[in-house]
Amino acid sequence: MNKKRAAALEMLKEIEEEFAKLRDRIFAERSAEITQEQNLVTSNVHPDIQKLFVELERNRAERIRRAKVTRKYRLQEILRKYDTEADIVKRQFLADRAMVREKLIADLTAQWFQIHREKRAMEMCVPGMSLNGSFV
């Protein structure tokens, strides 16, 4: 029984040694994989990082495109508002000019009538005499 026990212990020792070697080998392989992944990440060539960079660039390009479209429409709106305001100002100017012209014509007409009334009144004051000083 002692021999059996010694043989069993020897086998158990061999199994433990094999397990330790296997564990060390798995650890070394996993460590190498992690180191390889770390190298890929630090050199920016890791596939997952590349996917992220592509997605970021796509988002950036889309934001730039939207900003350009927004700028274009805002510029069109500003130009449209400018044209509208310029048209309003022009129409107001023309209306004001016409109003001033009509007022001037009315004032001049009133003055003309006033001058002619005064002329007739002067002619009535001195009978037989015209405005140029000659007798009629």
Q: Residue 65 pLDDT > 90, yes or no?
A: yes
The arithmetic mean of pLDDT across residues 61-85, rounded, is 98
Q: What is the pLDDT of residue 98?
A: 97
Q: Are 136 and 130 in contact (CB under 8 A)?
A: yes
The share of the chain scoring above pLDDT 70, in percent, equals 92
Sorted by where each begins, the domain ranges of the chain are 2-89
Give the separation between CA 78 and CA 73, rounded to whole angstroms.
Answer: 9
For residue 112, what are the CA distances in angstroms to 65, 81, 91, 106, 119? 70, 46, 31, 10, 10
Q: Residue 123 pLDDT > 90, yes or no?
A: no
Q: Residue 106 pLDDT > 90, yes or no?
A: yes
Q: For residue 41, which amino acid is it?
A: V
Q: What is the pLDDT of residue 19?
A: 92
Residues in the chain: 136
| More confident: 89 or 53 | 89
- Average pLDDT across the chain, whole number: 90
Q: Residue 86 pLDDT > 70, yes or no?
A: yes
Give the separation between CA 17 and CA 50, rounded to whole angstroms.
Answer: 43
Q: What is the biggest distance separating any 2 CA atoms in the chain, rounded to whole angstroms?
A: 177
List the beta bridge partners of residue 135.
129
